[in-house]
Amino acid sequence: MIDEDGYFGESVAAGYDVSSAEMFAADVVRPAVDLLAELAGDGRALELGVGTGRIALPLSARGVEVHGIDMSRAMVERLRAKPGGDTIGVTIGDFATARVEGGFSLAYLVFNTIGNLTTQDAQVDCFRNVADHLEPGGRFVVEVGVPDLRRLPPGQNAVPFHVSEGRLGFDEYDVATQSMTSHHVRVRGGDTEYFSVPFRYVWPSELDLMARLAGMRLVDRWDGWTREPFTSESRQHVSVWRKPTG
């Protein structure tokens, strides 16, 4: 059952950092923080879906003032319990619509979190909400995977994304609606746990159109945080849109 924390309630939050341990590795976090700190400059940064602080905490440690928005109180409690967690301002709410006081030079969404908004309208609203928060010349950064539809042969609707001892993950696609469900199966101490999270996958060109509707324009798109070229073989992208200065 979905509670007020959405799909990231206590049961998920309690083991989130462990289940996503590879995303907390220094060689994954550092390039993202380096780029975000550069783009933020002397301004404030707004993280949509701040979660347990994987990016917000090291970015704050770099001297950037960070404010987060998140629907899950359980995830934010984990953020608060970490060293430096009390320095991150957090607004509890839907990041497509929640408002934060003040302006920001940078807003960002990482680790496929744009897909947690499961309708096109909500994703469009998110871009508009970001544009309203950004100062003139401010930038919006999104890290998200490219839909993996080329791996779907006729008649198949699921693609594995993690297969290892004790853990199985696969994405189930509905190409008619651009909906996707990530299924997670874990075996711990002989007990089997299962949960699923719905997403809406979105194409890079569609994100560009959403940015245009919000008055922003694409300025950069890379394969990853270290600015590798984005190509037709890329399985993810880091994109940057900019709000005009005038």
Is the per-residue pLDDT at 19 higher than 80?
no
Give the pLDDT confidence score for residue 1 in this predicted structure: 38
Give the pLDDT confidence score for residue 149 in this predicted structure: 92
Q: How far apart are CA 177 and CA 169, in angstroms?
A: 21
The domains found in the chain, sorted by start residue, are: 10-146+203-242 (3.40.50.150), 149-196 (2.20.25)
Confidence of residue 219 (pLDDT cuts 50, 70, 90): very high
Give the pLDDT confidence score for residue 2 in this predicted structure: 46
Reported as half-sphere exposure (CB side, CA atoms, 13 A), residue 139 has a value of 18
pLDDT tens, position by position, 100-148: 999 999 999 999 999 999 999 999 999 999 999 999 999 999 999 999 8
Side chain identity at residue 129, one-letter code: N
E strand or H helix that includes residue 52: none
Structure tokens at 69: 């928005």
Region 194-199: mean pLDDT is 91
Residue 27 has a CB neighbour count (10 Å cut-off) of 7
Is the per-residue pLDDT at 71 higher than 50?
yes
Give the pLDDT confidence score for residue 123 in this predicted structure: 98
Phi, psi for 43 (deg, rounded to 5): -95, -175
Confidence of residue 18 (pLDDT cuts 50, 70, 90): confident
Contact present, 123 and 202 (Cβ < 8 Å): yes
pLDDT tens, position by position, 229-246: 999 999 999 999 999 998
Region 173-183: mean pLDDT is 95
Region 61-90: mean pLDDT is 97
Average per-residue pLDDT in the chain?
94
Q: How far apart are CA 123 and CA 69, in angstroms?
A: 15
Give the pLDDT confidence score for residue 226 in this predicted structure: 98
Contacts of 155 (CB under 8 A, 6+ apart): none
Confidence of residue 49 (pLDDT cuts 50, 70, 90): very high
E strand or H helix that includes residue 33: helix 26-40
Beta bridge partners of 134: 104
Give the pLDDT confidence score for residue 189 in this predicted structure: 83
Structure tokens at 105: 């030079």
Structure tokens at 221: 């798109």
Give the pLDDT confidence score for residue 3 in this predicted structure: 52
Is the per-residue pLDDT at 5 higher than 70?
no
How many residues does this entry show for the chain?
Answer: 246
Task: Write the CA distances from 109 to 136, 137, 155, integer angstroms.
Answer: 19, 18, 33
